[in-house]
Amino acid sequence: MTPSPQLPLQRLYHWEKHAAGRVYLRQASAGSWREYSWAAVADQVRRLTRFLRHQAFEPGSRIAICAKNCADWLVADYAIMMSGHVSVPLYASQSEDSMRYVLQHSDTRLAFVGAGENTEAVPRALPPGALTVGIHGAGGGCDFYLADILEAWQPIADSPQPPAETIFTIMYTSGTTGNPKGVMHDYQTVAHAVPRMVESFKHTAADRFISYLPLSHAAERILVELQSLYCGGSVAFVENMDTFVADLRRARPTFFFSVPRLWVKFKQGVESSIPPRLLALLLKLPGCAGWIKTRVRQQLGLAHARLLGTGSAPIAEEVLRWYARLDMPLRDGYGMTENFAYGCMCEEGRLVPGAVGVPFDDAEVLIADDGEILFRSPVMMRGYYREPEKTAEVLRDGVYHTGDTGFIDADGQLHVTGRLSEVFKTSKGKFVAPARVENRLGDCPLLGQLCVFGHGLDQPVLLAGLSEMALGRARSELRQPLLQMLEALNRHLEAHEAVRQVFIVAEEWTVENQLLTPTLKLKRRRIEQHYRPWVEQHLGGETVIWQAPEAVAGKPERTVAA
């Protein structure tokens, strides 16, 4: 199969003509689906395009989308393309200050606003004179509403297609530090990368996708929105996280991509019902193994999934092995917004725990002398919007410098070991890569979120939350298993990497408390700043330190030792 050279809107026009009545989008609502055919979606896009044309913005104006995932999100995105403008996706949980920076840095002229944890801040963050259009889940106060626009405006009759070299989106990276950077991509990037991904994953029009990770992130937008657009598959949108599992079971996805945090939560949920030792025993019994594997997939809503993917952050090797034992192999991958997620992918039948696969055929991965991972690819970003100096820092002679470290094994598979910026130096002058230490803890059923730090300390320390299975158990019952876990961990580490103490935190790290990025990556510097005063009060004390449930980080007087 030769990759299709067609641009995104050409794919929409194709399905509008050749699959008009087939369902494309399914919006969960009150326990049922509201379904939209390809023809219905195209009709809405055409009506919204006429409205956008009427605003008489100059070509290439920036138009933002800030909402939780929904069918309207895709309608808005395609209408921005059709009207010749540039989309600027925002996270629905983004802070107001971050929104203000993105919206004003991009000089956004109009924003689509929907449901979200902080979307009510959008009108306050917009540049003066910018308009708002309310979409699915929007509250009051918008200048216009999509439902009214669709009723009042007639669809355009022509089928425009901006030139392939035109910028179609500026995706601002969430970032763990500093202001977000606006990654610019053009249409030819989509036309080159997405068909090759579709071919690699063997997607067809029969595939069912489900969308719940932020569409403002490159992975979800490419792997769900654009892959479905190119292969003709359907997309289901969950109603909310409370209905997530029920929606997942009803959607019966054939492709399911998630970040490591959710795969770990799924694993912990199973282990809270079936203790790890019992599960291991059942998987060894010929009469039970098949039944238990089927049961787990059904409970997770993944009984029909032929392809399971993970990415966006490191995943512990033991988590990968756990899913493999259940005949649920997770295909890990490695890419970033800057290379349009067109990086490396584990190939079917070549899943090696700890590896993120091999590059796509016409992409190249290199390892610099200092261990940094470099990429050369035909689908690299056009640069960071309005930041040529930062672009020049990472794009040199056509090679993208990722800031990540890793190595290529004897089979040509890439392994990611951490980030150059995350490596810290202990007071002994030794360097430690925290991700290497954290990834060793994937087989500990007692722990949930993890963060190792130790800049300026004699030895690293571990901050950790308890898993769901451990939350209801007494501290006295957990102390010895935690000490054994720490002893086992340190046997696999160099002396300077050995973790001296474990600090059990009382709160979950979330996007809302600004300890995770919107893509659920650790904000390491913020976490360290948040907890360091408490940690320093107890250095050299008990091996396991607990934060009282009512305690607040930074108030060590309410902390108790094991």
- For the chain, the structural domain boundaries read 8-231, 255-303+306-421, 423-561
* Burial bucket for residue 215 (CB in 10 Å: 0-12, 13-18, 19+): buried
List the structure tokens of 220. 């979800």
| Distance (Å) of CA 307 to CA 50, 195, 212, 409, 505 | 39, 17, 17, 25, 35
One-letter amino acid for residue 328 of the chain: M
CATH code of the domain made up of 423-561: 3.30.300.30
Ranges of residues in the chain with a pLDDT under 50 are 1-4, 550-562
- Sign for the CA dihedral angle at 185, 187, 192, 195 comes to positive
One-letter amino acid for residue 334 of the chain: Y
Give the DSSP H/E element, type plus range, for residue 188.
helix 187-201
Is the domain spanning 255-303+306-421 CATH 3.40.50.12780? The answer is: yes
Helix 317-325, helix 260-273: angle, nearest 10: 50
Q: What is the per-residue burial (b if ≥16 Cβ within 10 Å, else e) of 60-97?
A: ebbbbbbbbbbbbbbbbbbbbbbbbbbbbbbbbbbbee
Establish whether domains 8-231 and 423-561 are of one fold.
no
CATH domain 8-231 topology: Rossmann fold (3.40.50)
* Burial bucket for residue 262 (CB in 10 Å: 0-12, 13-18, 19+): middle
Asked if 479 and 440 touch (Cβ cutoff 8 Å), the reply is: no
Asked if 120 and 143 touch (Cβ cutoff 8 Å), the reply is: no
List the structure tokens of 320. 């990968």
- Whole-number pLDDT of residue 314: 79
Measured between alpha carbons, how far is 52 from 59 in angstroms, rounded to an integer?
11
Asked if 461 and 535 touch (Cβ cutoff 8 Å), the reply is: yes
Give the DSSP H/E element, type plus range, for residue 330.
strand 330-334
List the structure tokens of 272. 């809270």
Spell out the residues 6+ positions from residue 511 whose beta carbon is closer than 8 angstroms to its own: 91, 93, 117, 517, 518, 520
Q: What are the φ and ψ backbone dihedral angles of 372, each rounded to 5 degrees? A: -70, 140
One-letter amino acid for residue 390 of the chain: K
CA atoms within 13 A on the CB side of 516: 18
* Burial bucket for residue 429 (CB in 10 Å: 0-12, 13-18, 19+): exposed
Measured between alpha carbons, how far is 386 from 183 in angstroms, rounded to an integer?
10
- Whole-number pLDDT of residue 5: 64
